[in-house]
Each structure stands twice: as C-alpha cells, then as structure tokens.
Structure 1
Amino acid sequence: MPDPGSFRQRPYDLVKEFTIALVAAALLTVGLAAVFSSPNEKPVTLARWARAAPHDFTATSVAELGGTSGTAEYGPPYTTTAGAEQKIGPVSLQRAAGVTIPINTARDFVLRPLTDAPEPPAVSAGLAAWRTAPIPRQRQWAAAYADALDKAPGGDPSQVPPGDYGPVPVLTARLLELAKTGALDGELLATGQFYQTDYTKPLLFLGDGSYLEDQARARHLAGDQWGMMNETGNYPGQPWLWLYTLWYQVEPFSSSGNADALVWGLMALLTLGFVLVPFIPGVRSIPRWTRVYRLVWRDYYRSRGTGRQP
C-alpha cells in the first residue's frame, strides 16, 4: 500500500471555499430573482375588492341576493339549477356527481354574514323583511334594484332613484361596510373548523363580479391573452396549466357551452393515451426508430465506440 505521504500535497482552505461559494450563489440568486422573478402581487380579497370597486361589489351582492349570479346559476356541484349541467354527448358528469358543495348565494354570501355581524336596527329590520317575504317578491326586489343600478351613473347606489327595492339597498350597503373592514373575508371562511383553509366561497363571490377578471386582464392573464404568472411559494405554479387552458382558445371548445366538460374529457383521453404509450404498438417503438436515446446518452455511446445498443 503506497505511503500517503508520498503523494503530492497542497493546502486547501475549506472554509474559504465554502464562503466564496455561498456568497457567489447568494448574489447570483438575488440578481436572477430581481431580473426574472414573477411579480409578488398582493392577494385579491373581498376587502380589497370592496375598497377598489365598491359599485361592482354592490351590483354583485344584488345578483347573489336575487339568485342571478354565475355561481347561483352554475348548477352542480354548487346548486341544483335545472338545465345548467354541462355534458359530454348525452352524459352529464355534473348531474352524476350531484351537488357536493351546496351553496345558496343569498344565504351564504349575504344574509348569514349580516346576521353573524353586529346589526344596526335598520339592518335587523331589513333581514326580517327579507326572510318573511315570498321568494318571488325577494327576486322582484333584487331585479328592480339591479336594473336601477345599471341605469345609475357609474352604477353608483347613491344615484339610484327611489323605488320598490324592499330591504335590498340596506342589506347590500351594510355588506359593503363589512367587506371594507375585512370582516366578510373571515365570515365566508368560517366553517366551524379550527383551521380555515377552504377558500371556495370567497373565490366564488369574487368570480361573480368583474373586479377579479379586470385584475387578470390587466396582467395579461385572461383566457384570450395567453399570459402566464408563476405562483409565489408554490411549485410548479401555473405553467403546467398551459396544455389544459390551450383548448379553451380553439374551436369547438371556445364557443361551446359545454367547454368545461369537453376539455376535461379531452384531457382525460390524452392522459390515458400518455399512460398507455408503452403498450401501443408503433408508438412505443418511436424512440427506437428515431434513436434519440443515442443523442441523449452520446457520451456513453462515444465511450463504447460506434457499436449498436446491446
């Protein structure tokens, strides 16, 4: 066995090497992050929406009360709206799954938060009037106020002329106050569990208005803009969605009322095909025919000469 002292030696400062590597990696990370990182956008909350676009918030609240919002008319898994189910041919997967996340937009988004919060006398009277009124009367009030808001300059509730709106103006004004303070965000997250991590209701409420879409469009994230933004703190973020969202931009999906179901079915079929690649004759032989593997492992085959793969 050779004597270790017979080999050539030279001094090596491990601490110095580690320090240099650490500083270089830190500077490189900070520099690349500053140049190429995604913007760290503030969360879009109900409070932010109510403060930035109070008229849109009010109009959406009226739609939730009247049952005319996107969520109220979506169908399963949220509501039992007749004829709202999307289909693949004659099969409705929504109807088959049923209502798994039952949501009554008037109750869950407006009435319950107002009831749980401290109520001024006018709001208490308005809640009582709403609950004792027949459903057709409730919808009549909401529809009348929604029409008045559409005609008011800028959708400003203060510009709405007097009319037969029932308690709708009082209820929506109070809901706007709660939202501006941030209380509504907490109310819609309250599910009776210790850890509140289910953001379904706040997201649905936000999606029913135009504010969230406006924010997405301003950042080129709308469906027809082909923008993309990485999620902060989550891997892999949004890039993996490109193949899924691609189909919404092309026919026949872009103009179909069953786009969600059709895209889901297509992606399920493509995923199944990908899983079955090793078992599909011809397709499974493409790597062998193209010999791409020799390019990927070129160093290995170069070391073995020009012989064929064993």
Structure 2
Amino acid sequence: MRGRKIGREPVPDPGSFPQRPYDLVKEFTLALVAAVVLTVGLAALFSSPDETPITLARWARAAPDDFTATAVAELAATSGTAQYGPPYTTTPGAEQKIGPVSLQRAAGVTIPIDTARDFVLRPLTAAPEPASVSDGLTAWRTAPVRRQQQWAAAYADALDEAGGDPTRVQPGDYGPVPVLTSRLLELAKAGALDGELLAAGHFYQTDYTEPLLFLGDGSYLEDQARARHLAGDQWGMMNETGNYPGQPWLWLYTLWYQIEPFSSSGNADALVWGLMALLTLAFVLVPFIPGIRSIPRWSRVYRLVWRDHYRSHRTARRH
C-alpha cells in the first residue's frame, strides 16, 4: 500500500480578504486627546488640594505656646518620642508586643534619638547664641540629670498654670529652661531650626525623621491632621488631604483601627500588623486549603465568567 503524500496547504491570497481604509495617526491622535481630557478632568474633580508643608517654622508662628510646651517635654524626656522605645529609645516596656513577642525590641534601636540633645541643645549650640543662652547651655550640661528633670518638670507645671503662655509664668526655680526654650522658639520662627534638624549628621538634607518626630510630639500637627480628616479614627490611613478619595486598597488595614479591641489597645499597630499578616498568608494559601479551594467549583461561578463559551458549546452540541 502506497502512502499518500501530504503537501503544504496553499497560502491564501491576501487580496481575497475584505479590506477597509485605516488611519493609524488619526486613531492615535484621538486616543491621546481623550486620555488627556480624562486625566485633566478627573484630576480637577478628584485630586487632593495642594496643601502647604507643615514645618517647624509654621508651627512656631501659629502655635508658639504648643511649641514651647513641647520643647520643655523634650528637655524633660517625657515627650512621645522620648518614651516611644525602639527604634528611637531604649525606654523599658514601651515597645508594642504580639503576646510575649516584642517586634520592636527584636529590631533594636536603629535610629537613636536623645530628645533633649537632638531637638533642643544641639540646634542651640550650632546657632550663634547670646551670652545668656551660652550660660544656660553650660548650666544645663553641668547639672545632674535629676536636677535637669526637676527644672523641666517645674517649668512644665508653671506653663500649665499660666495657660501655656510663657509670659504669664510665675517666678520659680526653673534653671535655664525658660532661656533655652525661648531661644529655640526664636530659631524656629526664623526658619533656622528646620535646617538645623535636617542637616544634623547628614550631607544630603533629605532625612526628615527628626523634624517629623518633633512635630509629632506637639498637638499642632495632630490638630491639622484632624481638620483634614487624616486621623487614625477618621480612616486617615486611606484618606488623602481633605477626605478626598485616597487608597481604597488600604480599607481592610485601617478598618481594624476603628473597632475593638484594636481601637483602644496600646498594642494596636503590632496586633493589626499580625492580623493582616495572617490574612495575607491565608489568602496566599487558598489554593491549598481543602474546602475553601473548592468554593468556585461548588458555586459554579466559572460558568458565569465563561458564559459565552458554554453558550456556544451548547449550540454546537445541538447541531
């Protein structure tokens, strides 16, 4: 029996297919114009306002009493940064935990901050100082730590009694604290403190850690955040400035901060991080979890997604 020789199939003639004119340049131009119009229009409707930056200078001019009270807390090492724990300080028991495990302590102090030295004393030393300020710096540095804390605590109490106004503080044993904080306020109002904290130990002035920590220790930054719906209990993690549409994919993360027990827990950040890590792991392992991995097959959702295929398959079977 002879085998049948199979030759190549004839190549179809391109001219046998229907043709129509096509202007590629025109389509590109129309697509570009449509994209530009949509981009500009949606940006005008939904983009965030162009807020001016909140700096130490702006803070000192707008809320000098809050700035002074925060500077005193930095000297006394009672501010939020001073008591935060790792990665800034070694404050015992300050770190957040998941059960007995402290993730902060495991990482250690990677950005050491001494609030009195870094936020107050070093900027005052770097700037040209009047004799009274130089004497105050000497008096502070030569005093025992306990004496420094007594001065700062006494002045903080006096400020509270005076409604936060340094000009109404009654005479007392405050050491050099009033002189130091008053001069720091002058530097901040002039804009020099922003530069001093940015330049400290850095060639490139792009590390805003210290200015942001100092700002965060006061109430001014939080007040500005709340006014723009950016606080944690305002879903601020996923909002943009002014409650504009932000990052909707963060809704699940910020949701937990709105409910108990996370909303009132001192370990909220660690607990939410741990919960999200578990949820993410469960999502990754869905193809391997018996029962859950079979839900699409049981629900027959795939038939809805591929309905055109199954419709044509049924039609072909009929014929």
Report the TM-score when normalising by structure 1. Answer: 0.86
1:44 corresponds to 2:58: no
Q: Which residue of 2 aligns with 1:25?
A: 35
Q: Distance in 2 between matches of 1:304 and 1:167?
A: 88
- Larger Cα-atom Rg: 2
1:143 corresponds to 2:153: yes
Shift of 1:170: 1.4
Shift of 1:305: 4.1
Shift of 1:53: 1.3
Q: Which residue of 1 aligns with 2:118?
A: 108
Alpha-carbon RMSD = 2.6
1:177 corresponds to 2:186: yes
- Work out whether residues 230 and 239 of structure 1, in 8 Å CA contact, stay in contact via their aligned partners in 2: no
1:268 corresponds to 2:277: yes
Give the counterpart of 2:216 among 180, 184, 207: 207
Shift of 1:98: 2.1
- Work out whether residues 230 and 240 of structure 2, in 8 Å CA contact, stay in contact via their aligned partners in 1: no
Shift of 1:301: 4.0
- Work out whether residues 142 and 168 of structure 1, in 8 Å CA contact, stay in contact via their aligned partners in 2: yes
Give the counterpart of 2:75 among 65, 85, 92: 65
Gaps of 5+ in 2: 1-11
Gaps of 5+ in 1: none
Code of the aligned partner of 1:70: G
Deviations 1:188-245 (A, max 9, x none): 22254433332222221111111111111111222222354338xxxx9644433222
Q: Which residue of 2 aligns with 1:294?
A: 303
**1:190–1:297 Cα change, 3 Å:** farther
Q: Which residue of 1 aligns with 2:6?
A: none
Q: Which residue of 2 aligns with 1:87?
A: 97
**1:118–1:156 Cα change, 3 Å:** same
Report the TM-score when normalising by structure 2. Answer: 0.84
SS of alignment partner, residue 224 of structure 1? helix
Shift of 1:20: 4.1
Q: Distance in 2 between matches of 1:4 and 1:191?
A: 75
Shift of 1:7: 6.3
Deviations 1:39-82 (A, max 9, x none): 22222222221122111111111101100001111112211112
**1:56–1:243 Cα change, 3 Å:** same
SS of alignment partner, residue 26 of structure 1? helix
Q: Which residue of 1 aligns with 2:207?
A: 198
Alignment of 1:156-175 (within 5 A): 156-175=165-184
Alignment of 1:274-285 (within 5 A): 274-285=283-294
**1:8–1:71 Cα change, 3 Å:** closer
213-222 or 265-274, which moves further after superposition? 265-274
91-100 or 187-196, which moves further after superposition? 187-196
